[in-house]
Structure 1
Amino acid sequence: MPVFWLILIVLGIAAAGYIVGRAQAMRSAGGDLRKLHSLPGYYGWNTAIKVMIPAFALLCLWQMTYPVYTGNTVTGMIPETEIAEGSSLDLVLAEVRRTSDGLHAATASGQLAEALASDPDANPAVVTQALRDAGQIVTSDLDATVLNAAQEYRRLDERGALIRAVLVLLVAAGGLAWGVSDSDRDFRARNTVERAVRWLLIAAASIAILTTVGIVLSLIGNTWRFFQLYPASEFFGSLTWAPSFGGGSELGIWPLLWGTLYISLVALIVAVPVGLFAAIYLSEYAGPKMRAWAKPALEILAGIPTIVYGLFALLTVGPILFTAFGPDGAGWMQGGRAVMTAGIAMGIMLIPFVSSLSDDIINAVPQAMRDGSYGLGATKSETIKQVVLPAALPGIVGAILLAASRAIGETMIVVLGAGAAAKLSMNPFEAMTTVTAKIVSQLTGDNDFASPEALVAFALGMTLFVLTLALNVFALFIVRKYREQYE
């Protein structure tokens, strides 16, 4: 049974439990609400919660653990001698899963693969042709090892789906019986429901923390695998980025890191002054009518997809800069793709991040501070410069930090606007690339996932994570320093 239908069935049982639990509570009180400890709805929700929480908890646990079991079982069926040169166990397992899915789809479509999939001695070439006839993508003929492993994987998957459905439905039925048995007039249903809701809110609040921990652990694990294959001294010490999946790669991070910081710096030079001045105008000078349409119009920039900004950089910003600074102009620019091209387009994208947050922070400065400044004879511009902006500085630093983090993590604008050249250069009119762009390129295609050239993407991601974390710590230090001054 598919997970989607299983979830719908559990929700249906929970809805029925709500109705039955509420009715049972009313029956136990003889229809008199005054005899109930809690309102009737609490008894219904108590039953529904006891159906949903155990069932969904078991479903989540199953979805996390059973694939590990099937993967380990199938891995044991593939001897090392069957792994071709230039391949890896991960690639073979991916082929096994793809073949298993193909067998399932071919069976569902009524092709000959149904009979072949149940026959361990089936001819792999015949199976390959059957899968192709069913519309499945098979790049090469299957061998017996992959076919047997795919059949076992499919069998385990089907058996696991059946066991999962039975266990989850049994737990849901048990929760229904438990909740109905508790629906007595003296049962403290409200306390139980509120306690469950509190734990649900705690779990929701913990998702961000757990997600961050999971991201860090996944990065650390794969980064460690990379450094076991490629020396960390060369990764951090080399000034050359020249990956080669045939061997002999030079994977120095500094050209990528330099391109990331350089393009982000150009973007911030564009975004911070424009965004901050726009925020000052909207909060201090603009009237209600002007603010009512100017701020939403400015924030529209934040909703434009980054691929559109990339096309804007490629088709508009790049040609304009090339006309002014190319061979027919200043002679500094050799093509439309350059650091300036991506930086200007990215800076335009970051303007609403800076302006909107800075505007909210400036508006949060107490009016009493402005009135005190005016009372001492200061002009409006002097009040903004010497009172409002210093008081709002912690929030403005946070807005700039958010814009910087957004710039460091941008990919599409860089790919289309800055090119793919990994180099160390001070010329802003040369093509460069960033860490994020190379992460995408190293994980794109059918490359061996266990090779240093693919695993380097995780080392790059880990470096980017540490860099962003350092920026956050530095910004927090600045924020606390100025907050103590004005509180």
Structure 2
Amino acid sequence: MGNESFDADLTRSAHGQIAKERLYHWLLFFCAALTVFVTVSIVVTLAVDAVAFFRQVDALSFFTGTEWESSRGTFGVLPLVTATLVVTAVSAIVAIPIGTAAAVYLSEYASDRMRSVLKPALEILAGIPTVVYGYLALVYLTPWLRKGGLDLSMFNLLSASIMVGIMIIPMVSSISEDAMSAVPDSLREAGYGLGATKFEVSTGVVIPAAVSGIFSSYILALSRAIGETMIVVMAGGMQARMLDLTNPFANLFNSGQTMTAAMVHAVTSDATGGTPEFYSMFAIGLTLFFVTFSMNLLSNRIAARYREEYQ
């Protein structure tokens, strides 16, 4: 019995392994192709119905018109575009400094125990329904701003913009904090070795090294802000106004209608299928898509430039 030997077969079946790898390959390819298919389908659907709209309404008057009154057959999208961009700009002014500062604190200053409490609490803001934000802006924020001496109408873009900014703070802070935490400690130690303070290391070393991830958080946050619906519908109003392009923030105290609010109005109105008012929501949606796409493309180019510099 001592002369017997056993040779264990430790090799896997080559055919079975190849079959599994092929299965994984095609499964992952299907998931990737599905996302592309959904995106292309949405764009094609918007484009087809937008073409039907432009067959009834002149495209030049749509893109250059300064009045929007769909019930009267006036379709000038500029008031909707300017209101959307103003809301996005003001919300960015609110969210970007606060969110970035919160990310710096969580990444560089907070203890592990404090971070484990503050970060989940901050991210709870992202889970609050937007209709609640709209209610808070209409019932509480606008009266509070009025008591502060601002001459606001009941529905105004300022309250809507501030509340949209509060809503996107978790996006900025969470993604920026992840980017800062991924910066190697060796860079921080090099800064401390040169005699820099924690604040100087945070602002002069960590933020520049993580700037590509920080810009990514700005991209996602602004994309979320530009497509927000319920807050601007409830707090901003449904009256389309052409903002003064030389001073776009002058009309913040009055009501305004964004592109998403106009789409909601088109859906909830009595417009029947086949009418310009019905098809206008697809033309607005296509315009909103290209505005968002352009902003993301520009922001991605900026992020890529800094990523090449610091990585």
TM-score, length-scaled by structure 2 = 0.90
Amino acid at match of 1:420: M
Q: Does 1:297 align with 2:134?
A: no
Amino acid at match of 1:286: A
Residues in 2 aligned to 1:38 and 1:286: alpha-carbon distance in whole angstroms: 52
1:257 to partner: Cα distance: 0.6
- Give the structure 1 partner of residue 184 of structure 2: 366
Which of 154, 157, 160 aligns to 1:339? It is 157
Contact 1:422 1:433 survives alignment (8 Å): yes
Q: Does 1:387 align with 2:205?
A: yes
1:38 to partner: Cα distance: 5.8
1:478 to partner: Cα distance: 0.6
Which of 468, 472, 482 aligns to 2:292? It is 468
Amino acid at match of 1:321: L
Which of 199, 207, 214 aligns to 2:34? It is 207
1:409 to partner: Cα distance: 0.4
Q: Does 1:238 align with 2:65?
A: yes
User: Can you give the 5+ residue segments of structure 2 that lack an aligned partner in the other structure?
Assistant: 1-8, 244-249
* Secondary structure in 2 matching 1:229: coil
Residues in 1 aligned to 2:18 and 2:123: alpha-carbon distance in whole angstroms: 44
Residues in 1 aligned to 2:119 and 2:82: alpha-carbon distance in whole angstroms: 34
**Aligned counterparts, 1:269-280, within 5 A:** 269-280=93-104
If asked which structure has higher relative contact order (CA below 8 Å, sep 6+), I would say 2
Q: Does 1:402 align with 2:225?
A: no
Residues in 2 aligned to 1:204 and 1:435: alpha-carbon distance in whole angstroms: 31
Q: Does 1:224 align with 2:42?
A: no
Residues in 2 aligned to 1:440 and 1:336: alpha-carbon distance in whole angstroms: 20
Amino acid at match of 2:193: G
Amino acid at match of 2:66: L
Amino acid at match of 1:465: F
* Secondary structure in 2 matching 1:469: helix
Q: Which has the larger radius of gyration?
A: 1
**Aligned counterparts, 1:238-257, within 5 A:** 238-244=65-71, 248-257=72-81
Superposed CA deviations along residues 54-107 of structure 1, whole A, max 9, x for unmatched, are: xxxxxxxxxxxxxxxxxxxxxxxxxxxxxxxxxxxxxxxxxxxxxxxxxxxxxx
- Give the structure 2 partner of residue 438 of structure 1: 262
Residues in 2 aligned to 1:433 and 1:237: alpha-carbon distance in whole angstroms: 17
User: Can you give the 5+ residue segments of structure 1 that lack an aligned partner in the other structure?
Assistant: 1-33, 40-187
Amino acid at match of 1:338: N
Q: Does 1:314 align with 2:138?
A: yes
TM-score, length-scaled by structure 1 = 0.58
1:273 to partner: Cα distance: 0.9
Q: How many residues align?
A: 295
1:191 to partner: Cα distance: 4.2
- Gap change, CA 1:365 and 1:193, over 3 Å in 2: closer
Superposition RMSD in Å: 1.7
Contact 1:435 1:460 survives alignment (8 Å): yes
1:484 to partner: Cα distance: 2.0
* Secondary structure in 2 matching 1:438: helix
Amino acid at match of 2:27: L
Residues in 2 aligned to 1:374 and 1:243: alpha-carbon distance in whole angstroms: 62
Give the fraction of aligned pairs with identical amino acids, expressed as a percent: 43
Contact 1:322 1:336 survives alignment (8 Å): no
Amino acid at match of 1:424: M
